[in-house]
């Protein structure tokens, strides 16, 4: 990502319903689609009892455009109808980052 330049993180946390048929395929499609969007920077995801996906964007406009992307709107609707018992979205400005990596 960008060093010392502010960018945005969309944090999506969720719990699944009992019905997850088709979820993995749609999640993979959405990740591929997001990566093709203007302003997309990266994505990280983990799932255990709660799922957490963080996508990174270069602007609030890019996030807005992603939220309104037609195929993403279909996935959101399907998620509310079938796949999620609960979810929360947080949009945050990342002003600084650092990391550790062991050789």
Exposure string of 37-53, with b = 16+ CB inside 10 Å and e = fewer, is: eebbbeeeeeeeeebeb
pLDDT digits (tens, 9 = 90+) for 75-88: 999 999 999 999 99
| pLDDT reported for residue 21 | 92
Judged by DSSP in three states, 16 sits in strand
CATH of span 7-94? 3.30.70.100
| pLDDT reported for residue 5 | 78
Task: Give percent of the chain above pLDDT 70.
Answer: 96
What pTM, to 2 d.p., does this model score?
0.89
8 Å CB contact between 2 and 94: no
Q: Quote the CA–CA distance of 40 and 59 in Å, as a whole number.
A: 9
Sign of CA dihedral 52, 103, 93, 31: negative
């Amino acid at each position: 990502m960008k060093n010392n330049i502010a960018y945005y993180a969309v944090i999506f946390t969720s719990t699944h319903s009992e019905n997850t048929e088709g979820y993995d395929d749609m999640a993979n499609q959405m990740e591929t689609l997001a990566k093709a969007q203007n302003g997309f920077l990266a994505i990280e995801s983990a799932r255990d009892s709660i799922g957490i996906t963080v996508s990174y964007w270069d602007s609030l406009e890019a996030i807005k455009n992603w939220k309104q992307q037609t195929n993403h709107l279909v996935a959101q609707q399907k998620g509310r109808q079938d796949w999620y018992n609960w979810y929360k979205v947080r949009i945050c400005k990342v002003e600084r980052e650092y990391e550790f990596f062991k050789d």
